Chains A and B, each alone.
Chain A
Amino acid sequence: MAASGVVYGTRWGRTNALVLIALLVIAGIVVAVKQQVIAANLVFQSSTSQLATSAIDGSDVGFGVVRMTRSTGSGGGTDVKNVLRGGFANGKLDGLCVSQVQSILGVNMTLKITAGDGVLGTYEIQGSNALFDIVSIRGTNGSNGSGINMDGRAQFGLAASDVTTTKTNGVFDINPLEADQGTGWFGIDADKGNLYNIRGTIYDGVIGGPFSLPNLSITVTPGTSGCDASPLPK
């Protein structure tokens, strides 16, 4: 079909130019994607969250020192940290605030989760089977009650693995705090716990049972203004 004297074929000059451009684009994309990966590697500034609530009314309460596995940050490894794990089989909260400051690319930002109806003493947040890994917690006097209170037969010095909170078919579950077995792990067991005007530093909270969070708000704002900077949630 080709006209005589005309040779058809791949014109290598042009082809090479296009191939070169395509390769450059791919290289650029690879660089861009790599930067994206680097950008996603956040700087881990604070490992603990702030907790605040006007009151906690819990039944079958226990505290125990447990070894919590914690991420060490950028490397993706883990280490072990001793925390006081507080367990509540059933609980009501009068307002809740959990906040976390995190530094991303050198900029501080604060995630804040709040809930509550704004009325003191209504205990509008109800849930069951809650665990909090506490670094420190402080209860203070207020018009609604004062500090940390425990009711019933309180025992200090139990093994953390012997602390009881939740029940299945009326029988206490074994080791609800998931504490290490054996000695060395301090525990407190009480029938009831009433905690008022609580501010604390926690690593995490796990709430198992179905629960409600009226007026739930999740916000992320630049800066470090967390639960400590705001009045107790009601």
Chain B
Amino acid sequence: MFDLKGRVRSTYTDAREQLSARKDGMFEKADTKVLGTRRRSVGLMVAGVAALGTMFTMVSSNVMAVNFASSNNSYKIYTDRVIGQYAAGFINAQQKQNGTTPVAQIGFKQADLFGMCVIAQQDIVGLGTVSMVMTGGEPVNGTVTDPTKKISANELYIASNSLKGSGENISRMTLGQSADTLAMDTITSHRGAPGAFGLQAQLMQIGNLDADSYGIDLQGSINLPDLNIRVVPGVATKTSCTS
């Protein structure tokens, strides 16, 4: 006979004994040895922070590009002007941690941003709401002041339920194209459902853009001259971009 009951019992007893022995060992170790973070940690910490600082400088001086992808539920994006080449958009339900929300999924094959300010909110237990303000390029104050600090993004996707700006120059725009036939020049992956509403444009230059976003996704890379990241308590507004 296969004594299953006995085997389970013996395994259980073994495990208990082992655990108990381990616990005893832990207590013994805790009492006899002094273990802890040694001073050499500081060396690595300094080296790590220095490396981070170097990368930050490289990004903000336009040497290095970064990736960005988030479907956070509280983003505000501001820019003085965006010149988007090959744009496509369709309606979608953006998945969030707590359900879905309707958004327009707008993609640019290539986008030049004159100043960029991203404000992200995060609720932190014990701290309440904090806002992270990320700025790059020229100051976001409504007018293009320094075109040399242009931010270039490849394959930029924004999920937005509200996008406001001034359409300064738009060409070859199609409204109502079946969303499954959308294309951003050669990119055909940014598509919606067959028969659904789609928007496509070869050029979209929008000035003074304010967007409420539920997600930013950068398939390509972005350069962020004059990168600055600040944490502001509470809810930050557009004025926080320049102050």
Contact = CB atoms under 8 A, between A and B. Distances in A.
**Chains A and B directly touch (beta carbon < 8 Å):** yes
Interface of A: 39-42, 44, 47, 49, 70-78, 98, 100, 102, 104-105, 107, 109, 111, 113, 115, 133, 202-222
- Give the contact-size bracket for chain B: 35 or more
B63 interface: no
Nearest to B212: A219
B170 A213 contact: yes
Q: Is the interface of A mostly helix, strand, loop or mixed?
A: strand
B56 interface: no
Contacts of A78: 178
A40 B164 contact: no
Given A76-B194, A216-B165, A222 B102 contact: yes
Contact of A109 (B102, B167, B194, B206): B102
Interface string B169-182: 11111111110110
Contacts of A212: 166-170
B161 A219 contact: yes
Given A203-B176, A211-B169, A222-B102, 7 more contacts: A100-B91, A105-B93, A111-B197, A204-B174, A206-B174, A207-B170, A216-B166
A100 B162 CA distance: 15
B79 interface: no
B164 A74 contact: no
Contacts of B165: 216-217
23 contacts: A42-B93, A44-B194, A72-B194, A77-B194, A102-B196, A104-B91, A133-B176, A202-B176, A206-B174, A206-B175, A208-B171, A208-B172, A211-B169, A211-B173, A212-B167, A214-B166, A216-B164, A216-B167, A216-B206, A217-B165, A218-B89, A218-B106, A220-B160
A71 B194 contact: yes
Max count, chain A CB within 10 A of own CB: residue among B91, B106, B160, B195: B195
Given A207-B170, A220-B162, A113 B175 contact: yes
B198 to A, nearest CB: 9
A206 B172 CA distance: 7
Nearest to B165: A216
A114 to B, nearest CB: 10
A210 B175 contact: no
Contact of B175 (A76, A98, A109): A98
A73 B194 contact: yes
B195 A73 contact: yes
Contact of B197 (A49, A107, A209): A49
A210 B169 contact: yes
A69 B235 CA distance: 48
B81 to A, nearest CB: 13
A204 B167 contact: no
A102 B91 contact: yes
B168 A71 contact: no
A102 B93 CA distance: 11
A104 B91 CA distance: 9
B161 A100 contact: no
Contacts of B91: 42, 100, 102, 104, 109, 111, 220
Contacts of B195: 44, 47, 70-74
Given A42-B193, A111-B91, A211-B170, A218 B175 contact: no
A206 B198 CA distance: 12
Nearest to A117: B166
A11 B196 CA distance: 55
Contact of A74 (B177, B181, B194): B194
A100 B91 CA distance: 9
Interface in B134-192: 160-178, 180-181, 192
A72 B168 CA distance: 34
A72 B170 CA distance: 29
Nearest to B199: A113
A221 B173 CA distance: 22
Contacts of A102: 91, 196-197
